[in-house]
Amino acid sequence: MKTIFNPGTKKKTLTLVDNVVYSTVKDLNGDPLELKLSVLLQNGNSEMRAAMGEDDPKEDHSPKPALVWIPGGGWKGTDKNMMLGEMTEFANAGYVVASIYYRSSAQGHYPDQLIDVKTAIRFLRAHAAEFEINPEKIGIFGRSAGAHLSAAAAMNQDGFDSEEWSGYSSKVQACCDMFGPVDFLKLIEIDEHEIATNPNFRWKSMAETHEGALMGGDPATLRERSKEFCPPYILTKEMCPMLILHGEQTVGDPAGKICVILHGDCDKLVPCSISEEFYDKIVEAGMEDRADLYILAGAGHGTKEFFQPETKEIICAFFDKNLK
């Protein structure tokens, strides 16, 4: 059977540019470490260009807003491409999506990770023409540890900048924080309680915890040192619009101070109250118009609810409002 049909050209062609080195740093041992990112963009049929030396004239190469994806994983280092499949919807929605690898807590202590994030943003601005990015429209988003770094970058503070790509801004214009552990003091309270009372807890000392490994140094000063790096305590008038998503808090202690979601082995997750109190502090600072908080009923830490079309529509609508 021979059939001729016209499928149209509504769907854009996505191209993946992988393992782009955006920074060279040193790890905790002083050894050089290349930091890489991946870029997912609508830049046409790259195979056609390679084979024929020309492009499809119907392709749109105009500058587009960019979204920088910051992976989670307890700051322990996560494959930058692990969630790339979920990012295609944002690329299809008209965004250039860059997913980055940043130093793990075994490779650097905070604020090294924030420095890496801000370096990646400046790199993308420096290479805006190459990746068809509108350098005035860059958003950032992440989940869990990646959401903490996204929210920290969203404060748009001066400082925490390396020498690389120093002629470009690291400011972002919109941020989506998905269940980010933005308040280390809350995490410290939870972990101290568990270490003191639960002999089966996965960590035996504060130095082993996610926040302890990230911060390094003397655990006795962890609270004091952590506060200056937690977004709820460093709110600035430069903060960009913020969308906060968190799963519903389902189990907590009677005082509401310790919250866990049980998975059979009492695994500790990020309390919903962290996002709620972060939002409250933004409102108290007079920036209610820059923040929205959505609590996903029945959702756990990064469970399927965060990847449903309805949730992605909320995220896309937020970025569309602030970046398009």
Distance CA 242, CA 151 (A): 8
Instruction: List, for residues 69-112, the tens digit of each pLDDT value.
Output: 999 999 998 899 999 899 999 999 999 999 999 999 999 999 99
Give 297's pLDDT tier (boundaries 50, 70, 90).
Answer: confident
More confident residue, 100 or 261: 100
Q: What is the pLDDT of residues 182-233, one digit of tens each?
A: 999 999 999 999 999 999 999 999 999 999 999 999 989 999 999 888 999 9
pLDDT in tens, 23-79: 999 999 999 999 999 999 887 666 666 676 677 777 788 999 999 999 999 999 889
Q: Which two tokens stand for residue 58?
A: 């119907």
Question: Would you say residue 207 lies in a domain?
Answer: no
Q: Domain range for residue 264?
A: 15-181+238-323
pLDDT at 256: 30
Dig out the tokens for 8 from the structure: 């149209």
Residue 100 lies in a domain: yes
**Domain-embedded: residue 97:** yes
Look-up of token digits 């692990």: 82
The CA distance from 195 to 228, in Å, is 24
Q: How many domains does the chain have?
A: 1
CATH number at residue 32: 3.40.50.1820
Q: What's the chain's Rg over C-alpha atoms? A: 21
CA distances from 26 to 73, 114, 181 (A): 21, 15, 26
